[in-house]
Structure 1
Amino acid sequence: MFKNRKFLMFMLLSVLVLAACGGGDKESKDKDSGAKSKSSFETIKANDKIVWGVKNDTKLFGLKNPSTGEIEGFDVDLAKEITKLILGDETKVEFKEVTSKTRIPMLNNGDIDAIIATMTISKDRSKEVDFTDVYFEAGQSLLVKKGSPIKSINDLDSKTKVIAVKGSTSAINIREKAPKAQVLEFENYAEAFTALKAGQGDVLTTDDAILYGMASQDNNFELVGGQFTEEPYGIAMKKGSDDFVKAVNDALAELKSSGKYDEIHDKWIKK
Structure 2
Amino acid sequence: MTAPHRPHPHPHPRQSWLRAARHLRARLRGWGGVGAMATACAVALVLALLLTCTTSPSPTATRPAGQSLSPAAQTEAQADEECTAPEKQTLPPSDADGPTIEAIKSREGEKRKLIVGVDQNSYRWGYRNPNSGESGTLEGFDIDLVHRIAEDILGDPNAVQFKAIPTDQRIPAIEDGRVDMVVRTMTINCARVQDVAFSAPYFRTGQQVLAPKSSPVEGYDETLADRRICTAAGSTAYARLAEDKETGRLPESADLRTTVPNQLDCLVRLQLGEVDAVVTDGALAASQAAQDPTVQLKGEAFTTEYYGVAMRKDADDLVRRVNRILVDFREDTADGWQASYTRWLSATLGDDPSRSEPPAPEYLRKS
Matched residue of 1:121: which SS?
coil
| Residue 262 (structure 2) pairs with residue 188 (structure 1) | yes
| Corresponding position of 1:96 | 163
Give the structure-2-normalised TM-score.
0.62
Give aligned pairs, total. 234
- Mapped to 2, the partners of 1:73 and 1:239 lie a distance apart of 27
Structure 1: tracts of 5 or more residues without a match: 1-37
Residue 227 of structure 1 deviates from its aligned partner by: 0.6
- Structure 1 residue 155, shift from structure 2 partner: 2.8
Alignment map for 1:1-271 (pairs within 5 Å): 39-47=99-107, 48-67=112-131, 68=133, 69-177=136-244, 178=250, 180=252, 181-183=254-256, 184-259=258-333, 260-270=336-346, 271=349
Q: Give the Cα–Cα distance (whole angstroms) in 2 for the partners of residues 60 and 161 of structure 1.
A: 27
Indicate the larger mover: 149-158 or 98-107. 149-158
Question: Shift of the alpha carbon at 1:92?
Answer: 1.2
8 Å contact from structure 1 (residues 51, 112) kept in 2? yes
Note if contact 2:101-2:153 (Cα within 8 Å) is conserved in structure 1. Answer: no
> What is the rounded CA distance, in whole Å, between the counterparts of 2:122 and 2:209 in structure 1?
16
Q: What's the TM-score once normalised by structure 1's chain length?
A: 0.83
Give the ranges of 4+ consecutive aligned residues of structure 1 lying more than 4 Å apart after TM superposition.
none
Please tell me whether Structure 1 or Structure 2 has the larger radius of gyration of its CA atoms: 1
Partner deviation per Cα, 1:86-137 (whole Å, 9 max, x = no partner): 2221011111101111111111111110000010001111111000000111
2:106 counterpart SS class: helix
Q: 2:222·2:251 contact (CA, 8 Å) conserved in 1? A: no
Cα distance change of structure 1 residues 44 and 179 upon mapping to structure 2, 3 Å threshold? farther
- Give ranges in structure 2 of 5+ residues lacking alignment: 1-97, 245-249, 350-367
For residue 143 of structure 1, report the CA deviation from its aligned partner. 0.5
Cα contact 2:198–2:310 (8 A) shared by 1: yes
Offset at residue 49 of structure 1 (A): 2.1
2:192 is paired with a residue whose SS is helix
Q: Which amino acid aligns with 1:264?
A: S
CA RMSD of aligned residues (A): 1.4
Larger deviation: 236-245 or 101-110? Answer: 101-110
Which piece of structure 1 moves more, 178-187 or 246-255? 178-187
Return the letter of the residue paired with 1:182.
Answer: D
AA aligned to 2:276 is D
Aligned with 1:240: secondary structure? coil
Paired residues of 2:198 and 2:311 also in contact (CA < 8 A)? yes
Q: Which has the higher strand share?
A: 1
Tell whether the 8 Å contact from 2:183 to 2:308 is kept in structure 1 after alignment: yes
**1:112 aligns to what SS in structure 2?**
coil
Q: Which residue of 2 aligns with 1:35?
A: none
Instruction: Classify the secondary structure of the residue corresponding to 2:191.
Output: helix
What secondary structure, in the 3-state scheme, does the structure 1 residue paired with 2:168 have?
Answer: coil
What percent of counterpart residues are identical?
33
User: Aligned equivalents of 2:264 and 2:215: distance in 1?
Assistant: 21
CA–CA separation in structure 1 for the residues paired with 2:232 and 2:196: 20
Structure having the higher helix fraction is: 1
Amino acid at match of 1:55: D
**C-alpha displacement of 1:179:** 5.2
Q: Distance in 2 between matches of 1:182 and 1:217?
A: 25
The answer (yes or no) to whether the contact 1:86–1:251 under 8 Å persists in 2 is: no
